[in-house]
Amino acid sequence: MINDIIEIKLNDSTYSARLDMGAIAEAQNNLQKFKTNIGVVEMINQVGKENYLVINNIIIESIKRCHPTLKDENILENMKLHDMNKIIGYINELMNASLPIDDGDKKKQEE
């Protein structure tokens, strides 16, 4: 079984986070206020363009998958601007832990 849960440290708080179908669906739902029908590929492309609206939504929803009683505001208050590079690293770590890799990459990892 693949361990797709990562640890995220924001400010002085530590969270577990999982990027799964539920987190993606909730992030898409939240983003529909700004753009209708944003797809997963487009969300990933927006992460690459450092779109913080998308990044924040993915991080928040991934954390809420492991901590369902937390509110967005509780997480956002710990997402400080000086942690921007760490947050980008966490989103990349989430994607690497959760998203499927293609067969060519899988063979490289096994070697």
Q: What angle do CA 67, 92, 29 make, to 5 degrees?
A: 55
Per-residue model confidence (pLDDT) at position 34: 83
pTM assigned to the model: 0.84
Domain that includes residue 91, residue range:
5-110
Per-residue model confidence (pLDDT) at position 3: 78
Per-residue model confidence (pLDDT) at position 99: 77
Per-residue model confidence (pLDDT) at position 37: 80
Give the mean pLDDT per block of 10 residues along the chain (111 residues).
Answer: 83 94 93 84 92 94 96 94 93 88 54 52
- How many domains are there within the chain? 1
CA-wise closest residue to 94 among 48, 57, 70, 62:
62
Per-residue model confidence (pLDDT) at position 105: 52
Cα(9)–Cα(13) distance, integer angstroms: 6
